[in-house]
Structure 1
């Protein structure tokens, strides 16, 4: 078998499922999958999930799982007004990342969350976002832990499959880290801002495909606003008014469409 010109990485597998590869690269990926049965089985499962969701979005009959149809209907309602249905159809694959234990849990302890409007249970990834915010605060106070202000969203997407939103120009990057979470790799960014002071943006792939509008909550001495677009969930955390933070989260969510 001829070796591909470039190593096949997770981003290539994502693009293969989403039909975003040129023919030559698809052949290389298929050759890679033929030699890696575990990856091939996972990609086949992702292709099935993608096709089930496409069928559900198109309103066609079929034997797809009910949970997939429910997610499709929520997605269609959320995107109908914005005309972005076709774009999200292309993002329909569901990718499950292996969980990794949270290393700082024993030091920082669990976070306490009190939703501003307790209509639905708070997603588990919000706990990880609050812990990541605390970890970033600890790092910022340590001289032995240098900040990493270099930010490359394309590299983050290739390495983690996480698409980052467009950031306001007045948010000054202080630190960018890849942290473990119960869902796999996550991105934690820390900013200095004029409106919020120190602000954190957390992003992770929670293992489900959904559209969740920005939802505000109070968490001890901090506020958070979380949302999900497709396969990636996000949370802003800062010491500020939760509704004000929610408006900033809504602008980030809009940029992903």
Structure 2
């Protein structure tokens, strides 16, 4: 005949936490807890809450009154229950997020991370080129401002240390000006082209040594393509949406090597 075993109740667990069980019953409760990990975790949490409370109040168990012990036990159980509920809430949130991801995967297909390609921020000299271009357009509209079509690349190099590229044969220079910029003197040259129409070539020494391949800049009412070779940067500017501006910039860049 199997020995009779007294089932472990909630009162036994409370008494175990409060150190109110005799040695035999404590062994039976511990055997029960060893077979029930979830209940053991709860009891361990209660024991921790009990010890924290005793440490906080520094109260000797032997001197506490029965009413005080009962109130302390209720507080301990409440603290432990709050921690357990907090854990349950966190687990529920994780499960809800996982379920939402599974539902989205079933509804719209597997989720994947796509590469975000950000447009590079153009160098500051591109803005200088835009400003110089608008100034040249304004000058061209004024009868009192005469254009200077005489273009001498050697003289520009001697005066500004800026090497100008070799221009295409179909370009007709209409104006060449030296403008101030935040980087120092800059060259603004306006020319007409059969394929691009009216274009502007801006050149400046930005103060850094770099090699930048011809790159299309931001376009709205003005299109641009910029590049840099060594200590000199160049910006090709055209009015409106001009195609193949970067190819023209490549051809200009090739003449500098």
* Category of TM-score, reference length = shorter chain: 0.5 to 0.7
Contact (CA 8 Å) 1:151, 1:176: kept in 2 or not? Answer: yes
Runs of 4+ deviating beyond 3 Å:
240-243
Superposition deviation, residue 218 in structure 1: 3.1
1:225 alignment counterpart: 225
Gaps of 5+ in 1: 1-116
TM-superposition CA deviations, 1:51-71 (whole Å, max 9, x none): xxxxxxxxxxxxxxxxxxxxx
Residue equivalent to 1:172: 172
Q: Structure 1 residues 143, 176: closer, same or farther in 2, change over 3 A?
A: same
Shift in Å, 1:241: 3.9
Return closer, same or farther for 1:233/1:118 CA change in 2, 3 Å cut-off.
Answer: farther
Report the TM-score when normalising by structure 1. Answer: 0.53
Distance 1:233 1:216 in 2: 14
Partner of 2:75: none
1:118 to partner: Cα distance: 4.5
* 1:114-143 Cα distance to aligned partner (Å, 9 max, x none): xxx844321000000001110010011100
Q: Structure 1's 118 and 131: CA in aligned 2 closer, same or farther, altered over 3 A?
A: farther
Aligned positions of 1:49-88 closer than 5 A: none
Aligned equivalent of 2:135: 135
- Partner Cα separation in structure 2 for residue 189 and residue 167 of structure 1: 11
TM-score, structure 2 as length reference: 0.53
**Equivalent position of 2:208 in the other structure:** 208
Number of the residue aligned with 1:109: none
**2:244 is paired with a residue of what secondary structure?**
helix
Q: Which runs of 5+ in 2 are unaligned?
A: 1-116
Superposed CA offset, 1:149-186 (max 9, x none): 00000010010000000000101000000000010000
Shift of 1:240: 4.6
Supply the distance in 2 between the matched residues of 1:217 and 1:208 (Cα, whole angstroms).
19
2:246 aligns to what SS in structure 1?
helix
Please say if residues 218 and 242 of structure 1, whose CA atoms lie closer than 8 Å, have aligned partners that are also in contact.
no
Q: Hey, what's the Cα distance between the residues in 2 that align with 1:124 and 1:188?
A: 16
Could you say which residue in structure 2 is the equivalent of 1:235? 235
CA shift digits 1:191-225 (9 cap, x unpaired): 01111111000000000000000000233211100
Distance 1:240 1:247, change over 3 A: farther
Greater shift, 214-223 or 166-175, is seen at 214-223
CA RMSD of aligned residues (A): 1.3
- Aligned residue runs from structure 1 range 20-169, under 5 A: 118-169=118-169
Matched residue SS, 2:143:
coil
Secondary structure at the aligned position of 1:176 is classed as strand
